[in-house]
């Protein structure tokens, strides 16, 4: 028990310079000296557990959060009391970028599995970006990348159910690969409900398509464990070349 505690604290306190995410996260392309300046403002909190909320809708925006380990989902309350899943967040990804403008969080961030998270106070980060040009560029790229990803998701909304699920799986695959994990064999920390909600599909539809993909030997599924057998075929599907329902609306 005491050993577990020590490990946990060690994990918590790992500095940016020795963090395995340093090539993905904010320190990317910073010189050691600047990494240290960044470290000075980063706050490490104790690990959060499944179901914990990182922040709530309405909370005042003060910090960006970076996932160090684990995963989260963000969601907005929907009018009827349900929730709308806005995205999933993997290690190295920054949460809260949408709140900079509004000064207030308008969504919830919930932990899907035990996760450790770095807190980066935004005001101090902004001050730092003014004196570290490469950090400023990194911030602009980060924000821009988020816009690009959102745009991709926006396009998804116009595709068929099969295309959406294929695109979702490929997106996860690529994001995991960037983190040094297998792009073809991984664990989904979110439920089918959450996937369906995220993609705008009914749970049943998600389930049916998973089995359809499995029947077609595109992948193997066993509960939350996914194995992708044919990335190319999935890519083709996701692109919408499926011949059915050509949504090519020229204007």
Q: Which positions lie near its own copies, rule CB under 8 A?
A: 76, 78-86, 97-102, 106-107, 126, 129-131, 133, 136-137, 139-148, 150-151, 153-158, 191, 193-194, 196-197, 200, 202-203, 239-241, 246-251
Residue 69 beta carbon to its own copies: minimum distance, rounded to whole angstroms: 22
37 near DNA (CB under 7 A): no
DSSP 8-state symbol, 218: S
CB 70 within 8 A of CB 116: yes
> At closest approach, how far in Å is the CB of 158 from DNA?
8
Cβ closest to its own copies, residue 46 vs residue 174: 174
Dist CA 53 CA 72 (whole Å): 9
Q: Decide whether 93 or 194 has the Cβ nearer to DNA.
A: 194
Nearest-approach distance from CB 185 to DNA, in angstroms: 17
Rounded Cα distance, 66 and 21, in Å: 10
Contact partner at residue 47 from its own copies, DNA, none, CB < 5 to 8 Å by partner kind: none
- Minimum distance, C-beta of residue 210 to DNA, in the bound complex (Å): 5
Distance, C-alpha 221 to centroid of its chain:
21
134 binds DNA (CB under 7 A): no
Which residue stretches of 96-202 are H helix?
99-102, 122-131, 133-156, 161-178, 192-199
Interface with DNA in residues 155-214 (CB under 7 A): 160-162, 191-193, 200-208, 210-211
Total residues contacting DNA by CB under 7 A comes to 25
| 39: CB partners within 8 A, 6+ apart | 15, 16, 17
Pair of tokens at residue 33:
């000296």
Q: How far from the centroid of its chain's Cα atoms is residue 193's Cα?
A: 17
| CA R_g for the chain | 19
- For the chain, the first-to-last Cα distance in angstroms comes to 65
The owner of tokens 């599924």 is 221
> CB-wise, 34 or 146, nearer to its own copies?
146
Task: Select from its own copies, DNA, none the partner in contact with residue 160, using the beta carbon and a kind-dependent cut-off of 5 to 8 Å.
Answer: DNA
In the complex, the smallest distance separating the C-beta of residue 135 from DNA, rounded to whole angstroms, is 39
Give the nearest distance from C-beta 240 to its own copies in angstroms: 5
Instruction: Write down the H helix ranges in the chain.
Output: 2-13, 32-41, 99-102, 122-131, 133-156, 161-178, 192-199, 203-215, 231-239
Residue 153 contacts DNA per CB under 7 A: no
143 binds DNA (CB under 7 A): no
Q: Report if residue 78 touches DNA, rule: CB under 7 A.
A: no
């Amino acid at each position: 028990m005491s050993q577990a505690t020590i490990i946990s604290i060690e994990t918590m306190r790992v500095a940016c310079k020795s963090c395995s995410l340093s090539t993905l996260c904010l320190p990317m392309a910073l010189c050691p000296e600047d990494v240290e300046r960044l470290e000075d403002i980063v706050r490490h909190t104790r690990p959060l557990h499944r179901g914990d909320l990182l922040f709530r809708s309405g909370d005042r925006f003060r910090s960006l959060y970076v996932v160090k380990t684990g995963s989260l989902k963000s969601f907005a309350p929907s009018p009827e009391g349900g929730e709308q899943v806005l995205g999933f967040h993997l290690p190295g990804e920054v949460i809260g970028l949408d709140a900079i403008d509004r000064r207030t969080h308008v969504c919830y961030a919930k932990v899907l599995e035990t996760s450790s998270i770095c807190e980066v106070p935004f005001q101090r980060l902004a001050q730092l970006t003014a004196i570290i040009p490469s950090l400023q560029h990194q911030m602009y790229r980060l924000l821009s990348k988020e816009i690009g990803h959102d745009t991709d998701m926006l396009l998804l909304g116009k595709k068929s159910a099969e295309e959406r699920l294929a695109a979702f799986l490929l997106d996860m695959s690529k994001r995991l690969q960037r983190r040094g994990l297998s792009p073809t064999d991984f664990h989904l920390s979110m439920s089918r409900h959450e996937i369906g909600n995220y993609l705008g599909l009914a749970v049943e539809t998600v389930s049916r398509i998973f089995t359809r993909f499995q029947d077609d030997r595109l992948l193997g599924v066993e509960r939350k464990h996914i194995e992708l057998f044919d990335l190319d075929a999935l890519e083709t599907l996701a692109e919408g070349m499926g011949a059915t329902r050509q949504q090519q609306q020229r204007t």
